[in-house]
């Protein structure tokens, strides 16, 4: 069974601070990684994806990937109250012909004004 682990939180940060969300995965063959944001009662929406080791930046969001450590993180700079949500890490199954995503249980982020 493929596993994707996240701290459930809640993670509380003050407005304007950097929020750091972490995710570890068990499937060494995984090649791509996704971060989704889910507001309470809503469906997940894609924030970022990353394929290569290192950092990928998009606005206030930075995804970091370390395949050797099987670790992916999401940094949110200048956190805003509107960033308060649950963040889901998702990892595709590396098996041949499989297009499934395994999701972590999510980290709940609360940005305090």
Partner 1 sequence: DGGITQSPKYLFRKEGQNVTLSCEQNLNHDAMYWYRQDPGQGLRLIYYSQIVNDFQKGDIAEGYSVSREKKESFPLTVTSAQKNPTAFYLCASSLTGAGNTIYFGEGSWLTVV
Of the candidates 18, 46, 53, 112, which one interacts with partner 1 according to CB under 8 A? 46
Among 89, 90, 81, smallest CA distance to 109 is for 81
Of the candidates 31, 52, 53, 80, which one interacts with partner 1 according to CB under 8 A? 31
Q: Does 45 bind partner 1 (CB under 8 A)?
A: yes
d(CA 102, CA 80): 28
Q: What is the dihedral of CA 35, 37, 42, 44, to 10 degrees?
A: -10
Q: Does 52 bind partner 1 (CB under 8 A)?
A: no
Binding site for partner 1 (CB under 8 A): 4, 8, 31-32, 34, 42-46, 49, 51, 88, 90, 92, 94, 98-101, 103-106
């Amino acid at each position: 069974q493929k596993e994707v682990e996240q701290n459930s939180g809640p993670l509380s940060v003050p407005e304007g601070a950097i929020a750091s969300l972490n995710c570890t995965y068990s499937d060494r063959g995984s090649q791509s990684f996704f971060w989704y944001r889910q507001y309470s009662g809503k469906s997940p929406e894609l924030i970022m994806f990353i394929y290569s080791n290192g950092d990928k930046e998009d606005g206030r969001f930075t995804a970091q990937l370390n395949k050797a450590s099987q670790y992916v993180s999401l940094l949110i700079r200048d956190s805003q109250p509107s960033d308060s949500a649950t963040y889901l890490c998702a990892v595709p199954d590396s098996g041949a012909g499989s297009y499934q995503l395994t999701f972590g249980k999510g980290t709940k982020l609360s940005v305090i004004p």
